[in-house]
Amino acid sequence: MVTFSIGANEGAQRLDKFLKKYLRGAPLSFVYKAIRKDVKVNGRRQKQDYVLKEGDEVTLYLSEEDLARYHPARKTVRARKQFTVAYEDSQILIVDKPPGLLTHGDGREKGNHLANQVLAWLIGEGKYDPREKSFVPAPVNRLDRNTAGLVIFPKTYDALKVMNRLLRDHASIRKFYLTIVAGELREPLRLLGAMTRDESRNKTLVSEVGKSMETLVEPLRSVESYTLCQVEIRTGRTHQIRTQLADAGYPLVGDTKYGDPSINRIMRDRFGLTAQLLVAWELAFSDMPAGYEHLNGKRVQAKKPKKFREIEEALGLSGKGNL
């Protein structure tokens, strides 16, 4: 048997959802059977849709063997810090990810990825207690391995819910990117279309039917064969910027999946560039809900990676100011 109180990061969620996280190694059948027979909230049995409140006392009448099996101690996270902090308050952390680093682990890299690095840093700074019952800080937006820039990590369960909702709405948090494309773009573009996915090749295809895509492209500086662009995405599809700009005739330099092979060879031979030149450059906040009003008008910016600055200057696309 174990008894504990519900904290701020466990409240305002259904009993079954909380227990799925707390008993993270258990099959769903075990969780729902436990709710029926082995769980009490404030001394009473509750249904699976009961919404927990901060201060509720939960008692699990489970054996020590089941608790050890289904609620194992979290492993100590060890990961070398490669990110920088772009913004932090009591609710969220925004980090600047370097190119070449996975946001999450995959089948090949399970340890040294951004999510683990941030978790290790938060624990080391005393900003997250690994003994938390269910909440673990995790990124709410994802960047490709070779895309640098800003990633949001909620530090509380409430912030996780709020940030996920706002990012789905594409209104209160606007996302801007910087890239260099092949071709001389003189006028802004509004790219509308639909997409399908070829999962076997990990490619997004522009099509007449499928999930909608909207991308706004503003040329900042141009030379004869290249343009520095600021790009805003109004939808968040996989490879959206890369595939829509390539379809419009302005592929990202270095993009081996959607780009121009002849341009990519020039970029590789001259600068050693072997992946798309793309930075999640800026997050702009507005119309934030209660508890997050301090973010209204806030604009958080990343730093351009060294390779980006080198290519930008060599091509004659650099200018004064922050850009």
Helix (H) or strand (E) holding 94: strand 92-97
Q: For residue 41, count other CB atoms closer than 10 A to its CB.
A: 17
Structural domain boundaries enclosing 250: 174-314
Whether residues 100 and 144 share a domain: the answer is yes
77 falls within a domain? no
Whether residues 212 and 308 share a domain: the answer is yes
Residue 94 — pLDDT band, cuts 50, 70, 90?
A: very high
79 falls within a domain? no
> Can you say how many angstroms the Cα of residue 120 is from the centroid of all Cα atoms in its chain?
17
Whole-model pTM: value is 0.87
CATH number of the domain that residue 267 is part of: 3.30.2350.10
Whether residues 182 and 306 share a domain: the answer is yes
Q: What angle do the packed helices 15-22 and 28-37 form, to 10 degrees? A: 120
- With a CB cutoff of 8 Å and minimum separation 6, the contacts of 229 are 178, 179, 180, 181, 185, 217, 218, 219, 220, 245, 250
Please state whether beta strands 278-285 and 173-182 pair in parallel, antiparallel, or not at all (unpaired).
Answer: antiparallel
Whether residues 161 and 230 share a domain: the answer is no
Predicted confidence (pLDDT) per residue in 20-61, tens digit? 999 988 999 999 999 999 999 999 999 999 999 999 999 999
CATH number of the domain that residue 22 is part of: 3.10.290.10
Whether residues 226 and 104 share a domain: the answer is no
Predicted confidence (pLDDT) per residue in 174-199, tens digit? 999 999 999 999 999 999 999 999 98
Cross-strand pairs, 58: 4, 41
Helix (H) or strand (E) holding 216: strand 211-222
Cα 99 from Cα 95, distance rounded (Å): 13
Whether residues 196 and 103 share a domain: the answer is no
Whether residues 44 and 151 share a domain: the answer is no
Three-state SS for 171? coil
Cα 309 from Cα 211, distance rounded (Å): 34
323 falls within a domain? no
76 falls within a domain? no
Cα 188 from Cα 215, distance rounded (Å): 11
Q: Which of 169, 196, 230 is the last residue of a domain?
A: 169
**In this model, does residue 322 exceed pLDDT 60?**
no
Q: Which of 149, 169, 189 is the last residue of a domain?
A: 169
Number of domains in the chain: 3
Whether residues 154 and 207 share a domain: the answer is no
- The predicted model gives 285-313 an average pLDDT of 97
